[in-house]
Structure 1
Amino acid sequence: MEMHQVRYFLAASRTLNFTRAAEECHVAQPSLTRAIKLLEAELGGDVFRRERNLTHLTVFGQQMLPLMRQCYEGALAAKKLAASIQKGAVASLTLALSHSVSMALLVSPLRELMRAFPALELRFLRGTPPEIAERLKKGEAAMAIAGPLGETWDRLDAWPLFSEGFDLVVAPSRAPPAAGGAALADFAAERLLTRPYCEVADVWLEFSRQHEIAFGGEHAMVCDADLMQLVGEGLGVAILPKSTPCPEGVLRIAASDLDLKRTLYLYAVAGRERDVQTAALINLLRARAWEPPAP
C-alpha cells in the first residue's frame, strides 16, 4: 500500500467526485482512478461505487475510511517529527482537562509518553465543559479528557475511557459507626460541598430531586483541593468520583443509596492534523486497561 493511494482515497471520500479529487491532488483523473483500483485490489474489496454522476463509499469503504485517515495522519506526523528532530526543535503537546479529572489518572500513560519522547514539553489547561469544547475548536488544545461536554459539533471525536461511580467523603469525626453501612440520609444534617464545575453537576441535582435527598445546606466550591480542605476540617461532606484521590484525614464512604455514575471521554478534533506525540498519547489512552486509582 502506497501513501499516495491512501491520499487519493481520502480526497475522493471527501469530494465524492473523482475529477475534483484528482484536481485537489494535482494528478490526472486516470492516474487517481488507477491508484484507487490498485488499492481496492490490495484491500480485497471495492471502496467506492460509481453510478454515473453519483459516487459514494461502499460499506467496506466506510469501514476502511477511519483506518486510512489514521494511517495517513500518522505518516504525516512521522515526517513532521523527523523534520523537527533534524532541526533540533522542541516538540510540545497541550492537553485540556476538566476540573473534575484527577491528574493521578494520567501519570502512568504520561510516563510512557515521556520515555518515547524525552524532549517533549507538556502544557495542561483546566476548564469547564464549554471552555474545553471551545479550546478544542480553536486549536488551543490538541486533545482533552473530560466527562460529557454537552457539545454536538460533528467534528468532535469522543472515545469513552471508563465509567465509574461516586462515593461520599467525610471527615473521620463525621463518619458513622462501621456496622450496618451508611446512607446519604445519615448525613442530612451536614452541609454538602457542591462541585458546580463537574460535568455531572446537573445529573446530581436531578438525582437528588428524584430521590428526595436533602442536606443541611450547601457550600459551592471552585476546585477539589479547597473542597478536600473543608471536608478534612469537618465543615461539610462531599460526593466525589471514585477516581478522585483523597488526602490523609478524609474518609471515603460507599453510600448504599448513591447510585450515580459518570463516563470519562478522550476528545480530539476529527480531520485536524495531529503530530506524532499527540497520536501516540491518543493511542496510549485508548489502549489502556483503565483502573481508577484506589482511594
Structure 2
Amino acid sequence: MDIHHVRYFLAVCETRNFTRAAEKCNVTQPALSRAVQQLEDEVGGLLFRRERNLTHLTDLGNLLRPRFQSILDELSGVRQEASRFLCLEDAHVKVGIMCTIGPRRFTGLLTDFNMRHRGIQLQLVEGVPPRLSELLEAGEIDVAIMASSDQFPERFDVTSLFSERFMLAFPAGHRLGQYEAIPISAIDGEVYLKRVNCEFNDYLSDVCTACGVHTQDSYSSEREDWIQNMVAGGLGICFLPEYSAVIPGLQVRPVTDPEVTREVCLVTVAGRRFSPAMATFVSAVKSYGWATPHSAIDMRRIA
C-alpha cells in the first residue's frame, strides 16, 4: 500500500472533489484518480461514490478513513522525530565516564556543550574500564572517557585528552606535608586506604614493591568520596589522580621517584557510524582546551 495513495484518499475525503484534491496534493487529477482506484483494488471495495459536483464516502470509506488518518499521522510523527534528531533538537548521547575521573576537568566542557547544543541531552554512565568497554562494544553507551594501565583493545579508536599525575593525599599536619613532591620510598610503613575501583591499583602495588615500600592496608572502598573523607579525617593516606581531589582540606602532593601518570582518553568503537549528536559531542570533546598547566591548580591542598 503506497502512502501517497493514502494521502490522496484523505485529500478527497477533505475536499469531496477529485479536482480540488489533486490541486491540494500537487498532482494531476487523472493521476490522483488512478491512485484512489488502485487503493480501492487493494482494499477490495469502493471508497467513494463519485458524482459530478460532489463525492461521497461509502460505508467502507467511512470505516477506513480513521485508520488511514492514523497511518498518515504516525508517519508524519516519525518524520518530525527524525528531523528533530538529525537537526540536534531532541537527541541523546550516552557517555560512559570512568568512576575514578574527577568532575573538575569536565565541568567546563559540559557547560560549554550545553550552551552550544541545548537540543542534545547527555546521559552520563559511571563505571570501571572493563564494564565501560563491555557497554561500549554492545552499543549500550555511545562513547567512553576513561584511562587504562594497559593498552586498549584494537577494536577501539582512542584519542588522548590529557595526562594526569598521581598524587599522594594525606591529612593536614601529616609528616608528608614537608615534601614538595613525595618519593614513593617516603610512604613506607604508612596506613594506606585503598580505592577499590582504581585501574592503577596493581601497577601502583608493583611500583611500591619495586621500591621496597610496605604499607599497612586499612580501609578500602568503591566510593571515591568516602576514601577522600577518611584521608582528610586522619585515617591514612592514598594515591589519588591529580584532578580527582575534591574534599576540602585534603592535602595532596605529586608522586615522584618514580612519577606515575595516566592518560585520560576518549574511546569509541572503530568503524561504527556516529549519529549527528554523537559526532557533535565527539568533536566538542576533541577540540576542548584540555591542556591545563599543573601550576594553574594548587596541588598543595584543596581549599
TM-score relative to the length of structure 1? 0.65
The alignment's C-alpha RMSD in Å is 2.9
Match of 1:119 in 2: 119
Alpha-carbon distance in structure 2 between the residues aligned to 1:164 and 1:248 = 20
Match of 1:26 in 2: none
Alpha-carbon distance in structure 2 between the residues aligned to 1:86 and 1:177 = 54
Query: Are residues 143 and 173 of structure 1, via their aligned partners in 2, closer, same or farther at CA, if it must alter by over 3 Å?
Result: same
Give how far 1:181 is off: 6.3
Query: Are residues 129 and 86 of structure 1, via their aligned partners in 2, closer, same or farther at CA, if it must alter by over 3 Å?
Result: closer
Match of 1:165 in 2: 165
Kindly provide the amino acid, as one letter, of the partner of residue 192 in structure 2. L
2:265 equivalent to 1:265: yes
Kindly provide the amino acid, as one letter, of the partner of residue 104 in structure 2. A
Give how far 1:240 is off: 0.9
User: How do residues 8-23 of structure 1 correspond to structure 2 at under 5 angstroms?
Assistant: none
Alpha-carbon distance in structure 1 between the residues aligned to 2:80 and 2:163 = 35
2:191 equivalent to 1:191: yes
Give how far 1:98 is off: 0.9
Match of 1:216 in 2: 216
Greater gyration radius: 2
8 Å Cα contact 2:99/2:127 also seen in 1: yes
Alpha-carbon distance in structure 2 between the residues aligned to 1:88 and 1:253 = 43
Query: Are residues 176 and 202 of structure 1, via their aligned partners in 2, closer, same or farther at CA, if it must alter by over 3 Å?
Result: closer
8 Å Cα contact 1:167/1:254 also seen in 2: yes
Kindly provide the amino acid, as one letter, of the partner of residue 121 in structure 2. E
Match of 1:6 in 2: none
Match of 1:136 in 2: 136
Any idea what SS the aligned residue of 1:172 has?
Answer: coil
Query: Are residues 280 and 131 of structure 1, via their aligned partners in 2, closer, same or farther at CA, if it must alter by over 3 Å?
Result: same
Match of 2:43 in 1: none
Alpha-carbon distance in structure 2 between the residues aligned to 1:188 and 1:154 = 38
Query: Are residues 177 and 143 of structure 1, via their aligned partners in 2, closer, same or farther at CA, if it must alter by over 3 Å?
Result: closer
Q: Mean Cα displacement is larger for which, 99-108 or 270-279?
A: 270-279
What do the CA deviations read for 1:40-97 (whole angstroms, capped 9, x no partner)? xxxxxxxxxxxxxxxxxxxxxxxxxxxxxxxxxxxxxxx9997126999622111101
Alpha-carbon distance in structure 2 between the residues aligned to 1:92 and 1:168 = 38
Any idea what SS the aligned residue of 1:124 has?
Answer: strand
Give how far 1:206 is off: 1.4
Any idea what SS the aligned residue of 2:216 has?
Answer: coil
Kindly provide the amino acid, as one letter, of the partner of residue 270 in structure 1. A
Match of 2:243 in 1: 243
Query: Are residues 222 and 177 of structure 1, via their aligned partners in 2, closer, same or farther at CA, if it must alter by over 3 Å?
Result: closer
Match of 1:15 in 2: none
Alpha-carbon distance in structure 2 between the residues aligned to 1:210 and 1:86 = 54
8 Å Cα contact 1:173/1:234 also seen in 2: no
Match of 1:100 in 2: 100
Any idea what SS the aligned residue of 1:103 has?
Answer: coil
Alpha-carbon distance in structure 1 between the residues aligned to 2:87 and 2:177 = 64
Alpha-carbon distance in structure 1 between the residues aligned to 2:145 and 2:160 = 10
Alpha-carbon distance in structure 2 between the residues aligned to 1:259 and 1:181 = 9
Give how far 1:231 is off: 0.5
Any idea what SS the aligned residue of 2:243 has?
Answer: coil
Alpha-carbon distance in structure 2 between the residues aligned to 1:168 and 1:125 = 27
Kindly provide the amino acid, as one letter, of the partner of residue 128 in structure 1. V
Any idea what SS the aligned residue of 1:197 has?
Answer: coil
Match of 2:205 in 1: 205
Alpha-carbon distance in structure 2 between the residues aligned to 1:180 and 1:285 = 33
Identity across matched positions, percent: 20
Give how far 1:207 is off: 1.0
User: How do residues 265-284 of structure 1 correspond to structure 2 at under 5 angstroms?
Assistant: 265-284=265-284
Match of 1:156 in 2: 156
Give how far 1:112 is off: 1.9
Kindly provide the amino acid, as one letter, of the partner of residue 246 in structure 1. V
Match of 2:74 in 1: none
Any idea what SS the aligned residue of 2:106 has?
Answer: helix
Kindly provide the amino acid, as one letter, of the partner of residue 199 in structure 1. E
Any idea what SS the aligned residue of 2:144 has?
Answer: strand
Alpha-carbon distance in structure 2 between the residues aligned to 1:104 and 1:98 = 14
Any idea what SS the aligned residue of 1:189 has?
Answer: coil
Any idea what SS the aligned residue of 1:161 has?
Answer: strand
8 Å Cα contact 2:96/2:125 also seen in 1: yes
Give how far 1:102 is off: 1.2
Alpha-carbon distance in structure 1 between the residues aligned to 2:226 and 2:148 = 24
Match of 2:11 in 1: none
4+ residue runs over 4 A deviation: 79-82, 85-89, 149-153, 179-182
Alpha-carbon distance in structure 2 between the residues aligned to 1:186 and 1:206 = 16
